[in-house]
Structure 1
Amino acid sequence: MKVILIKAIFVLMTLANYINDLLYRYDCVIVPNFGGFVTNKIGATVNTTTHTFYPPKKQLTFNAYLQHNDGLLANYIASSKNISFEEAITFINEEVAQWNEKLATTTITVDSVGSLSLNEAKQVVFEPNPSSNFLTESFGLAEVSTPSVERVKKVIVKSPPTFTEESNKTIPLYLKRAAAAAVFVGIVYVGWNGVQNEQQVLANQEDAVEKKIQSATFVIDKPLPTINLNVSKEARNFHIIAGAFKEVHNAENKLEELEEKGHEASIVGKNRLGLTQVAFASYATKDEARKALEIIKETVSEDAWLLAK
């Protein structure tokens, strides 16, 4: 029994690692018959309470309605494990069944992506991992905390001593004027010195923040799997057509509809009749496109067909 349980956990983490890898390269990763992990790029932020600066990142959410298989996860698993597309689909379906079984009683963790659980309405609730940043542009940038800047307290200058009528009579006039001038100069000096001290404190705080930002490093406690990124863009000349439209705005509406459903849709130009063609997805090889076409015909549209350009 222990062996079976350990094996199940290992496979679960394996599927989670595939999802983790793809989120660095794509904005949406769909787990067929389960849901999709969707990212949205946000800029740098600052927490004014803790005085902490956070670098830009991909904000991660989960959409339980994105369950259609777009082929992205299956193709990546098939390529990584050196198995067929159909075997990859079987592998995903088995793991999704385990996920659903575990969710009925406990919370599951999807590698460094986050955790999934069920609420009282039996809906999947996703909690992203706050320490993960899938934005490759922010690689090497870490959050930076700075001390708060405190203002210099106001300097209270005591008023000069008062003189009685008797003392006024005995103190010469030039001494009175000299004493008043000395008091005035002292007030100006203390006030100016306080301003300089406040400016110096602010300058020191800014220098400390700059040094911390310059010396910030990105420490990885658990190294991620190596991702091979191709510099040259792979040509995708095989398109699975969803429809052809006479009016361009109808084609754009169809494109938006497919993108909302999780497809990597695109407009692939006009045909010889002048109709604007919209594709579910495009592929680099004919073999990939045929496999994806079979799935789309079975699950989405029987009218889909393959176009090679």
Structure 2
Amino acid sequence: MNYRLAEQITFLLLRHHYVVVPQLGGFIREVLPASYNADKAIAYPPSAELHFNQELTHSDGLLEERYALLLGLSLRRARLVLEEEVKQLRHALIQMGTIELPGIGTLQMSASGVVSFVPQPSSPATLGASYGYTSLTLPRLAQQQMIEMIETAEVARTAPREKGDYILLRFSKRALGYAAAVAFVALSLIPWGRGAESERSYQAGFTPTSYSAEQLFGTATLEEKKPEVVDIPQEQGLQYCSEQDNRYHIIIATEPTKERLESYYKQAVSELGTKDIQAYCSRTGKVIRLSVASFDSSDAAYTFLNSFVKEHPSYSTAWVFRNN
């Protein structure tokens, strides 16, 4: 159904992170980082996943410009052609309940009018080969070879330096002997013992006896006061979960590292005023998604998403993810 619209959406997704289809929704391309399979010794290039957000209905102008360039029309006439094709697409979706966009995925509409999306696994917009990337075989070095490399580096580090790095001074043995004799005579003339005796007598005059100390300070002892230990309750941080609960989650952020996700979590807690936010690791372990809520059905999830983005416009790019 409407292959031209699907082809142009794919064309734009290869060059942009998301594309908005007016009066239908937005297709989002989530970038996944490169990975390495140690068992197969293969390095996989970056890839992507496609998602759909029904709330992104305001046109971003990408499809209009593409249609105008493709058909040789003005932006106004290209917008009319695009609106007609989207109208036909929505009409077919309402009648059949499901429609397939070649190279992208399948759109499904529930009885309440909520549109869900199932991406196509081999979509050109998600494959690394579409961007010129390919998998590489990177076998690990053998243990003996690694040991030899470490030993070679250690030998190079501890090897003696060239003579040009040092300053060499030559002294006569007779001159060194004269210098040692003069130093010995000079040290022998220093009155070492007299100063020590006067210092000892001086110190002894100020050392109080035990009897005098008792008269001055008494015999009472001070009790050692231990500092009080106060238990400070620790705040619970972001909870991470890796199990597949088959629920529909409202995702507000996707990051490859925990450090960057923690910053999104702190911002969301301050803006939304709730700490019921959890992080879910993907099955591949490449990305971590931040979920503000989860539901058993897609209808309930999309209903919550509609009210959520209206209440918090800064999270208009949130989308529904099924954790299975």
Instruction: Bin the TM-score by the shorter chain.
Output: 0.3 to 0.5
Q: What is the TM-score with the length of structure 2 in the denominator?
A: 0.38
Q: What is the TM-score with the length of structure 1 in the denominator?
A: 0.40
Choose 1 or 2 for highest CA Rg. 2
